Structure 1
Amino acid sequence: MNIEYALKEAMSTEGAIGVALVDYESGMALGTLGGGKGLDLEVAAAGNTEVVRAKVRTLSLLAVDDSIEDMLITLGSQYHLIRPLTKSRGSLFLYLALDRSRANLALARHLLKRVESELEV
């Protein structure tokens, strides 16, 4: 699946607010969908780049020989899911913001895993 279809698929989950495919080396979004007044996806992409970089750096310092499946940031009204793509796809991650009152976190995680497995970049 291409980037556009992958973003549409991610937005199909209940409660989705916005989604982005981000390169964490540059901090640039390769594609975004959704967002709006309450969620600037370009700013979120750049900010979450720092989160991913920090976690990757920490795992390296701790000599943890494992990979990050996903990261969850829980706000009062939102969930923010970050899913780094496998090493074969370079330094990319999917970022999905969800309305906490409408979202099913388990289904959203499952959907992002499927989108990642089918995404062709």
Structure 2
Amino acid sequence: MGGVEQALKEALTIDGALGVALVDLSSGMALGTLGHAADLDLTLAAAGSTDLVRATRRANELQNRPGEATEDILTTLTHQYHLIRPLTGPGGEGLFLYLVLDRARSNLALARHHVRRIETGLAV
């Protein structure tokens, strides 16, 4: 099991990764951020993504689909993917991993797989 810093460093090894944050859903505060894109404010993006996670959860509740959980949420921009992974493992409830990928340099399917693997090893 790894800590927050180790999980963030591992996420940045994903091809095309520009930045990553671990975010508390109740407050919108980033518990940790790591990235190298000059034009990317991870703290601000993480806070804004909190609203997206909450809205997705509300929509799922309204549809009343027992046993269905959100695995990830994807926002596709012209040059980037923003991947949100709500955490479900022990100690991860109420948190989500927020990953920004360079669209030209990343493989979305592999990134999703890698993020799932990071989640299983994360101890908060």
* TM-score computed with the length of structure 2 as normaliser: 0.93
One-letter amino acid matched to 2:20? V
Q: Which runs of 5+ in 2 are unaligned?
A: none
Q: CA deviation at 1:35?
A: 4.7
- Is residue 2:73 matched to residue 1:94? no
Contact map agreement 1:21 1:31 (CA 8 A) in 2 = yes
Q: How far apart in 1 are the matches of 2:28 and 2:89?
A: 17
Distance in 1, Cα, partners of 2:103 & 2:30:
23
Q: Which moved more, 1:105-114 or 1:34-43?
A: 34-43
Secondary structure (helix, strand or coil) at the match of 1:82 reads strand
Q: What's the secondary structure of 1:18's corresponding residue?
A: strand
> What count of residue pairs does the alignment treat as equivalent?
121
d(CA) in 1 for partners of 2:26, 2:42: 17
Q: How far 1:87 sits from its partner (Å)?
A: 5.9
The runs of at least 4 consecutive aligned structure 1 residues that moved more than 4 Å come to none
- CA-based RMSD of the aligned residues comes to 1.1
Matched letter for residue 101 of structure 1: A
What is the match of residue 84 of structure 1?
86
* 1:110-121 mapped onto 2 (5 Å cutoff): 110-121=113-124
Task: Give the secondary-structure state (helix, strand or coil) at the position aligned to 1:14.
Answer: coil
2:89–2:119 Cα contact (<8 Å) kept:
no
Identity %: 58
